[in-house]
Structure 1
Amino acid sequence: METSSVMRIGVLTSSRADYGIYKPLLKALQEDPEFELGIIAFGTHLSPFHGYTVDNIVADGYKVDYKVNSLLINDDKNAISTACALTSLKFADFWEQHANEFACVFCLGDRFEMFGAVAAGIPYQINFAHLHGGETTLGAIDNVYRHAITLASSLHFVSQDAFASRVADITGNLGNIYVTGALSLDNLSNIQMLNKEEFNDKWNINLDIPTVLVTVHPETVAPELNSRHLTEILEALRFVAREYQVVITMPNADTNGNIFREGFNALKTELGDKLYLIENFGTQSYFTCMLYSKFLIGNTSSGIIEAASFKKFVINIGDRQKGRAAGENVLHVPFDSKKIIGALKQVKGLGEYDGGNPYFKDGAAQNIITILKKQNRDKL
C-alpha cells in the first residue's frame, strides 16, 4: 500500500447506477493534486446489451484505467451465481497484478458484481472503502451482498447515523465509520440540468407533456413472483398512460430482469408514443427527467434517496426497498395494480412535496476527501 503524499485511489464501478452516484467523488478526486484516480470498470458497463456505459465515463472526461469483463447475458439464478463467481475469478487475477497500487479502493452498495470484485480482494487485504453500507433492502438478495461488502471493508462512508450504528453492529468495530450523507445528492449542485428544449432535442421526449418517470427492477428474493409483478405493473401503467406520458428506464442486470424488459417492450408496442423506453439516460438526463416529471413510480433507490430533493412524491412498489429509511414523500404499495392506481389518485391531490430529505448532508464528496487526507497524513 502506498505511503507517499499522493494517494492512488481505486474506484470500482460496475453499472450506470453506481457511476452516477460516484460522479461527485470522481470529480473531487481528479481535481485534487493529493490524489491519483484509478477507475476500474466492469459489470454492465462493458455490456452492449446494457448500452456499453463505459463510454459515458470516458465522455465525462475520465480515463478508464482498467476493464474487467465478466458479465453473462442470461439472468436466471444460475447465470447470476455464475457471473458473481466469474467476477471473483477475474478479479483474483486483477488483484494479483494491481493490489499494491492503491492506497484504498472504493466500492459502493450491494450489487452481486461488486460483491464478487470485493470478495476476490479479501486475501490481498485491499483497503476497501464502502459507500452506502448499513442500509437494508429486504426485497433483494443484494441485502446479503451489502453486509458482506461491509465486513470486507476497512473504511465506511454511510448516509445516516442509523446506518453507522448498523455498520458498527456488523463489523463489531466503531472505528473508521463516517456519516457523510448520500453522495449522489452532491450531483444536484454540480450538474447543470437540461432545459425542456435541450432534453427534447436529445431524447425526442417533450416534457411539456405531463410525465411520470418509472423504474422497476425485479425482486430477487422471490424471483418466481416477477411474472405476476409484471402483470400488475403493466395494468397500472396502462391506467397511468391515459393521463400521462410514461418514461421507463430499463431494469438492471438482476435475476429475471429480462421478464420486465420483454413486458415493457410489449407495452411500448401497445401504447406507442405514450410510452418511452430508455436504456441509459446518464445522470444529467435522468435528473432532468425527474425534475420535470409529475411524480415517480417504481422500486429504485433513486426514488428513496434523490426524489425528495426534487420535491417529488414517489409511489414505491413492493419489497425491493423494504427496510430502507424513506422520507414522507414516499408512498409504499404492493405489486397490486388497484393499489398502485389508488396511490396515483392520492399523489395527484398532494401537489409538490415540501418536506426534507433524510439522506442529505451538505458536501458529501468533500467530507470524504477530508477524511482520506487525514488518514493519509496519520500514516506518514
Structure 2
Amino acid sequence: MNRIGVFTATRAEFGLLRPVITALEASSTLEPVVIVSGAHLSERHGMTVSDIQAEGVAIAARVPVPLISDRPVDIAADMAATLKGCAEAYAALDLDAVLMLGDRTELLAAAAAAVPLALPVIHMEGGHLTHGAVDDSIRHAVSKLAALHFTAAEPYRQRLIQMGEAPERVFTVGSTATDNLKAFGRRTRAQVEAELDLDLSPGFILATFHPETLGEMSPAAQIDAFLIGLAAGREGRRVLITLPNTDAGSDTVRTRIEAWAAANADWATARTSLGARRYLAALTACDAVAGNSSSGVIEAPIAGVPCVNVGERQAGRLRPPGVIDAPLAPEAITAALRRALSPAFRAEAAQVPPPFGDGRAAERIVAVLEATDFTGLARKPFVDADRQGRRS
C-alpha cells in the first residue's frame, strides 16, 4: 500500500478533497492518511474538524496553528507553525506522497515542508488565475513544488505546461466540485430550512465575501460596498451569508458582516460555516450566489445557479455564462443582482451545460495514482521551450 497524505486546513478545500479521500479508501493499493490543520482546529472559525469527523474520515494527525489575528505578520507566523508541524507529521506518518488542493497560505507551508523530506507533492486545482489575491502567487509556487498535477480544465493544464511542468505529469481530470454535486443532487428550499432551522422564504441569496488581499480598497471599504449593494439588490429575498476565511483583513470583514446581519435580522443570517454538505444544499436551493468565493465561479455554474462575482479576487478564472462580474461598487452590485435574479437569466444559467468535467475527477485521480511509481517521483524535470514555442 502506498500511503498518501491528504492535507486539509479549510472547510471549502476539505469539501473538494472528500471525493478523492473516498476513492482512495476504496483503492486496493493506496491508503489515505488525513492531516488536519488551520481553521479546522479553530473555535473562532467554526472548529470544522467536527465536519470531517462527522463524515467518518479517520484523522491521522493534527497540526494546530496559533491563528492569533489577521495581521500579515501573524499569518506568516501561522505559516511557520504549519511548516514545522507538517514536516513532523509527514516524517512520523511514513508517507509516500502528500496530496493538497488549492492556493491558501497554509498550503504553501505544507508543500514546503515536504521538500527536505524528498516527499512528492500532488497538487489539485493548479493553473487557475486569481489576479485580486495573493492566492495567485501561492498557487503557482505550490505548482512548482509539486511532482504531479490534476487540473479542472484543459486551459489550466496548458498553463502549467507553459510554466515548465512535464506534460506527462499534468492531467486534466475535471473538478471534484462536479463529483460532489453529481453525487449530492439538488435540495429544495424547504429541506435547507429544516436542516438549518431558518425561514428562507420567499427565496434566498447565498453570500460569501473574503478580503481582496491585493485590492486597493481597505477590507472595511470592500465589505461595506458589498453589503450595501447586496441589501439594495436582493429583491425581497433573504440573505444567508457565511463568514470569511483567515486571510489578512478577515477580522474586519467578519465583524462588519456580523453587525450587518444583526441589524437586519428579519431577513439576513450570518453563519460561521455551513460545512461542505450544508453549503452545497444551500447552493443548489438558493436563487443566486453573491460575493467573491471561488464557489461562485465553479460550484454555482455547475449547479446551474446564477452568480454575481464581485471585485477582482477571482479575476482570471474561467467564466461560465451564468456568472455576472461586478466591480466593488454598491450600484454595480445591485444592478448585477437584479439581473441575476430575473427569471430570464435564472433560466439561462440553469440551461448551461455543466463545466469542469463529468463528475469522475476523483476516479481519474486515483487511477493515475494507482499507476504511479512514487520512488524518486520528487525528482522532477523542468521542460524548456525553444524559440518557436516547441517544448524540448
- TM above 0.5, yes or no, is yes
| CA deviations over 1:137-190 (Å, ceiling 9, x no partner) | 111101111011101110100011111111112234223110000112101122
Give the 5 Å matches for 1:40-79.
40-79=35-74
Which ranges in structure 2 are unaligned for 5 or more consecutive residues?
A: 377-392
Query: Would you say 1:231 and 2:205 are equivalent positions?
Result: no
Aligned partners of 2:98, 2:80: CA distance in 1, in Å?
20
Q: Does 1:97 align with 2:87?
A: no
Shift in Å at residue 339 of structure 1?
A: 0.4
For 2:146 and 2:334, how far apart are their aligned partners in 1? 42
Work out whether 1:173 is the aligned partner of 2:170.
Answer: no
Judging changes above 3 Å, is the alpha-carbon distance between structure 1 residues 358 and 194 closer, same or farther for their aligned structure 2 residues?
closer
Distance across 2 between alignment mates of 1:76 and 1:222? 16
Q: Distance in 1 between matches of 2:307 and 2:298?
A: 11
Distance in 1 (CA, whole Å) between partners of 2:266 and 2:6 is: 39
Report the AA paired with residue 127 of structure 1: P
Question: Which residue of structure 2 lines up, in the alignment, with residue 363 of structure 1?
Answer: 360
Pick from 108, 120, 124 the counterpart of residue 115 of structure 1.
108
- Aligned pair 1:256/2:226, yes or no? no
Helix, strand or coil at the partner of 1:187: helix
Cα 1:331–1:135 change in 2 (3 A) is same
Cα pair distance change 1:271/1:207, threshold 3 Å? closer
Once the 2 structures are TM-superposed, how far is the Cα of residue 94 of structure 1 from its aligned partner? 2.9
- TM-score in terms of structure 2 length: 0.90
CA contact (8 A) 2:302 2:355 kept: no
Deviation at 1:288, TM superposition (A): 1.2
AA matched with 2:64: N
Q: Matched residues in 2 for 1:65 and 1:377: separation?
A: 21
Q: Distance in 2 between matches of 1:378 and 1:42?
A: 27
Give the corresponding residue for 2:283. 290
Tell me, in whole angstroms, the C-alpha distance in 2 between the residues paired with 1:61 and 1:95.
22
**One-letter amino acid of the structure 2 residue matched with residue 320 of structure 1:** R
Q: TM-score, normalised by structure 1?
A: 0.93
- The residue aligned with 2:77 is 82
Quote the RMSD (CA, aligned, Å).
1.9
C-alpha contact 1:217 1:260 (8 A) present in aligned 2: yes
- 1:312 and 1:141 map into 2 onto residues whose CA distance is 27
Identify which of 175, 188, 192 aligns with 1:199: 192
Q: What's 2:6 paired with?
A: 11
Q: Cα 1:331–1:182, aligned 2, differ >3 Å: closer, same or farther?
A: same
How far 1:110 sits from its partner (Å)?
0.3
Identity of aligned residues (%): 28
- SS of the residue corresponding to residue 199 of structure 2 reads coil
CA distance in 2, matches of 1:230, 1:377: 45
Instruction: Provide structure 1 residue ranges, at least 5 long, that are not aligned to the other structure.
Output: 1-5
1:196/1:351 CA distance change after superposition, 3 Å: closer
Cα distance in structure 1, aligned partners of 2:18 and 2:263: 37
Give me the whole-angstrom Cα distance separating, in 2, the residues matched to 1:377 and 1:230: 45
The answer on 1:210 being equivalent to 2:207 is no
Contact 1:213–1:296, Cα closer than 8 Å, also in 2? yes
The match for 2:385 is none
- Give the partner amino acid of 1:63: A
Which of 119, 140, 144 lines up with 2:133 in the alignment?
140
CA deviation after TM superposition for structure 1 residue 32, in Å = 2.4
What do residues 178-206 of structure 1 show as CA deviations (whole Å, max 9, x unaligned)? 00001121011222655544432331123
1:20 equivalent in structure 2: 15
Paired letter, 1:45: H
